[in-house]
Structure 1
Amino acid sequence: MRARWLASIPMAALALVTIYPLVFTTNVALKTRREYVLDRFSPAGSPRPDNLATAWTSVGMGGYFATSLIVVTCAVALLLWLGSMAGFALGSLRFRGSRALYLGCLAALFIPFQVIMVPLARTMTTLGLIDTRPGLVLAYVAQFLPFTIFLMASYYAHVPPEIVDAARIDGNTLFGVYRRIMLPIGTPALISAGILDALFCWNDVLIALLLMPSAENRTLMVGVTSLRGQYSDDIPTFAAGVLIAAVPVLIVYLFFQRHIAEGVAAGSTKG
């Protein structure tokens, strides 16, 4: 019992340190500018949700939110589709060059985006995809596909090969095996990969800043970054923008944290 209490004290302290920035931001977002200047740490005297409305409409956070939602949804759908098929091929099937392809995907995980950002920008400019949502979707797919393939291949590698052999004997094509058997089996890993990919894409600033330079096509995180300069003298409005960007991530984490843990654990212990 004493050991449990000793372990719970630092964990509770870590939880408080993690939660406090969100509480502080929420409190600042509900203050007037005068209240913040007088005392930034005191509780808001009369909470003002008007700051959230101002950030959503006047500042343009609503448009940024819509852009992020569309881009992230399309990117995650493509990532799960391509990543699950490639993961099935590299994790469950054995063919000439499969090991080299898997190692290539694994090596791609260690390449920083800064190394490829100039060639990527030139390629996107040549194809006319700069400052377009499809261009940003393709960039996200290219950046995060190796991780998705690695996660799905690791999961499918623990599925007994007899399942695939039995399905082939029953007359299924490889795509039929993937669609009817492996895709349902891989649901936990798909959920984990989808959530993690969504968080990666939603929180990205560098790729979106590079490929979406115009103000009207900014993503939500780039929009929040731009608020820091535009509203440096209106911190409550800036805090409201930060809160709008943080709430979707917090909701995803609260509702799907168990799925992430179960998917990763299932991929590592199944078999």
Structure 2
Amino acid sequence: MRGLRPSRWVMAVPMAALALATIYPLVFTTNVAMKTRHDYVLDRFSLARSANLDNLDAAWTSDGMQRYLVNSVVVVTLSVALLLLFGSMAGFALSHLRFRGSRAIFLGCLAALFVPFQVIMVPLVRIMADVRLMDTHAGLILAYVAQFLPFTIFLMTSYYSAIPAELLDAARIDGNTPYGVYRRVMLPMGRPALLSVGILNALFCWNDVLISLLLMPSAEHRTLMVGVTSLRGQYSDDIPTFASGVLIAALPVLVLYLFFQRQIADGVTAGSTKG
């Protein structure tokens, strides 16, 4: 056992450094949000003297923040629902329904994962403008579905591939159509993966700034992350208030991760092994 200790340290030290690098920005932002403007100007790295909630209140009551939150909740909820529906149906079809071109479709979804959004953002804006979906929640939802659907299909296909075909054959013998097999067998058995993929997609959509900034130019339809960036100009000389806005936007994601961190980890490894 002693011979394993050096190898454990080799893994533990980088992981600890990565954890600190991930946690420090959140701790620093929280500390800045608790400071007054005067204290921040004097020493931005010192600890806050007390838990000052005035900055949080100022950020929350600033123009449009509540509306931005509602916009984000609506867009993220509908986007995730559509992603789970289309992703689970496509995953079932590509993993267990053999048809001509299924392999090419799966490889196409896999290849789409490697296309940066910056490559397609100009054509996307042109298309959205042509179909009059610019500055609408429907357009942003469709953009999110198109952007994150290949990842959802890939993960659901991998997960469903691990389900024995004998279960589906038994369901067909009982008289189920392909839709019945999907609804009565695949959806119940795919709940762990659906939960994990749903959480990951919710995090992706919630944290997005670039797509929302391109497709939602008006302040009325902005999402929360884009709205927080506008605080940087409104409170350019009041960094603690801006940090409070960042903290408000990050809090739902943090809570979601803390409650579902095991499901997120399970979803990343879903379908990686069979049996």
SS of the residue aligned with 1:267?
Answer: coil
Give the equivalent residue in structure 2 for 1:150: 154
Give the equivalent residue in structure 2 for 1:254: 258
Tell me, yes or no, if the aligned pair for 2:158 and 2:270 is still in contact at 8 Å. Answer: no
Q: Give the whole-Å Cα distance in 1 for the aligned partners of 2:177 and 2:128.
A: 36
CA distance 1:221–1:267, change in 2 (3 Å): same
Q: Among 173, 177, 195, which residue is 1:191 paired with? A: 195
Which amino acid in structure 1 is aligned with residue 152 of structure 2? T
Q: Which runs of 5+ in 2 are unaligned?
A: none
**1:2-13 correspondence runs (5 A):** 2-3=5-6, 4=8, 7-13=11-17
- Report the TM-score when normalising by structure 1: 0.94
Tell me, yes or no, if the aligned pair for 2:216 and 2:222 is still in contact at 8 Å. Answer: yes
Q: Among 227, 230, 236, which residue is 1:223 paired with? A: 227
1:139 aligns with 2:143: yes
The structural deviation recorded for 1:240 is 0.2
Which amino acid in structure 2 is aligned with residue 65 of structure 1? L
1:201 aligns with 2:224: no
Identity of aligned residues (%): 75
SS of the residue aligned with 1:269?
Answer: coil
1:31 aligns with 2:35: yes
1:265 aligns with 2:269: yes
Give the equivalent residue in structure 2 for 1:105: 109
SS of the residue aligned with 2:133?
Answer: coil
Q: Give the whole-Å Cα distance in 1 for the aligned partners of 2:212 and 2:43.
A: 35
Tell me, yes or no, if the aligned pair for 2:135 and 2:221 is still in contact at 8 Å. Answer: yes
Q: Give the whole-Å Cα distance in 1 for the aligned partners of 2:224 and 2:21.
A: 25
Q: What value does the CA root-mean-square deviation take over the aligned residues?
A: 1.6
Count of residue pairs the alignment pairs up: 271
Give the equivalent residue in structure 1 for 2:57: 53
**1:40-189 correspondence runs (5 A):** 40-189=44-193
The farther-off stretch of 102-111 and 150-159 is 102-111
CA distance 1:186–1:214, change in 2 (3 Å): same
Q: Displaced runs of 4+ in structure 1, greater than 4 A?
A: 4-7
Which amino acid in structure 2 is aligned with residue 213 of structure 1? P
The structural deviation recorded for 1:5 is 5.4
Give the equivalent residue in structure 1 for 2:18: 14
Which amino acid in structure 2 is aligned with residue 236 of structure 1? P
Q: Which runs of 5+ in 1 are unaligned?
A: none
Tell me, yes or no, if the aligned pair for 2:155 and 2:270 is still in contact at 8 Å. Answer: no
